[in-house]
Structure 1
Amino acid sequence: MNKLLLALAICLGLNACGSNGTKKDNTTNVEQTQLQETKDRVEILYFHGKQRCATCMAIEKNAQEAVESQFADELKNGTVVFKTIDISKAENEKIAEKYMVTWSALFVSKWKDGKETYENLTESAFANARTAPDTFKSGVIEKIKTLLK
């Protein structure tokens, strides 16, 4: 609860600092982000650095294909969220620290009543995304289906 209030205060403070009396389009984005942060959902988080190998690119490509092909409706309504996060960018430092990510990684997290549980799928992703993409995609799909229940 305190984290949510702090995040809200920061967002409102940042919005107020940039305000010149006119309504900006990013207010809608802030409101959507706040709504999404409180909504029950499953997030697929693919982390990567500035340089990526063939396997790293296969993880992102195949994870995104699996999600988009099986969960199109859930992506539209926000029940499933796919995020690609470049950990070499300063704005992504905090999320990388939260998940203790220092290189390419794949996480699936479930948000329920404002609380998160997550699973690190990185080992399976590196083992299968490039050499056995169908196995990898099936695993991602099954994990998401399980978490949506």
Structure 2
Amino acid sequence: MKKLLFVLFAAFVSNACFSENANKANTSETSSKTTIENSAESLDSEMVYVYYFHGKQRCKTCMAVEQVTQETIDQLYGNNQKVRYKEVLFDEVANKALVEKYAVTWSTLLVVKGGDYTDITRQAFANARNNPETLKNLLKSEIEKRILD
């Protein structure tokens, strides 16, 4: 019985976080998102990019990861021209090269400089809602390592 409940819960969470939204109500939201055309080829190797990849339909934790990440970048690096936050819809054709470059299949948070990157997705999702300061500190640490590199 516990296994059945766990499987049903896991299926529900997966569907809520990672499935494509068939509802057209989010069309205005997705049209306002920036697409990253040819980004896989045109990255500045001196820049630190924080990429948040996601689909159209997202759960509360997915939205919290985005909010904490964006706030952290704005607060700590808003005036730093070497740090950029990019929100990437992984299911849009225009973002295909970037999605393939980092082998993204669902919501992912990466800190990238040149060919070096760190996937902090697991820590981001574990901390975004209940321990946002932990995520902020992790982002700061990963970005600072790359700025000094």
Question: TM-score, structure 1 length as denominator?
Answer: 0.68
Give 2:73's aligned amino acid: V
**Shift of the alpha carbon at 1:130?**
1.2
CA distance, structure 2, for counterparts of residue 38 and residue 143 of structure 1: 18
| 1:95-136 deviation digits (Å, cap 9, x = unpaired) | 11111111100000112xxxx210101111111111211111
| 1:80-101 deviation digits (Å, cap 9, x = unpaired) | 1110000121111221111111
In the alignment, which of 61, 82, 87 is matched to residue 55 of structure 1? 61
**Residue correspondences, number:** 109
For the aligned residue pairs, the C-alpha RMSD in angstroms reads 1.7
Higher radius of gyration, 1 or 2: 1
Paired position in structure 2 for 1:136:
135
Give 2:51's aligned amino acid: L
Query: Within 5 Å, which residues of 2 pair with 1:39-78?
Result: 40-74=46-80, 77=81
**Shift of the alpha carbon at 1:145?**
1.0
Can you give the 5+ residue segments of structure 1 that lack an aligned partner in the other structure?
A: 1-29
Paired position in structure 1 for 2:99:
96
**Shift of the alpha carbon at 1:146?**
1.4
Give 2:46's aligned amino acid: D
**Given the superposition, is the C-alpha separation of residues 122 and 68 from structure 1 closer, same or farther in structure 2, using an over 3 Å criterion?**
same
- Whether 1:108 and 2:111 are equivalent positions in the alignment is yes
**Alignment identity in percent?**
38
Give 1:125's aligned amino acid: A
CA distance, structure 1, for counterparts of residue 64 and residue 144 of structure 2: 22
Question: TM-score, structure 2 length as denominator?
Answer: 0.68
**Given the superposition, is the C-alpha separation of residues 38 and 146 from structure 1 closer, same or farther in structure 2, using an over 3 Å criterion?**
closer
- Whether 1:82 and 2:92 are equivalent positions in the alignment is no
Can you give the 5+ residue segments of structure 2 that lack an aligned partner in the other structure?
A: 1-36
CA distance, structure 1, for counterparts of residue 45 and residue 118 of structure 2: 19
Please tell me whether the aligned partners of residues 51 and 87 of structure 2 are also in contact (alpha carbons under 8 angstroms).
Answer: yes
CA distance, structure 2, for counterparts of residue 52 and residue 133 of structure 1: 18
Give 1:62's aligned amino acid: V
**Shift of the alpha carbon at 1:39?**
5.1
Paired position in structure 1 for 2:147:
148
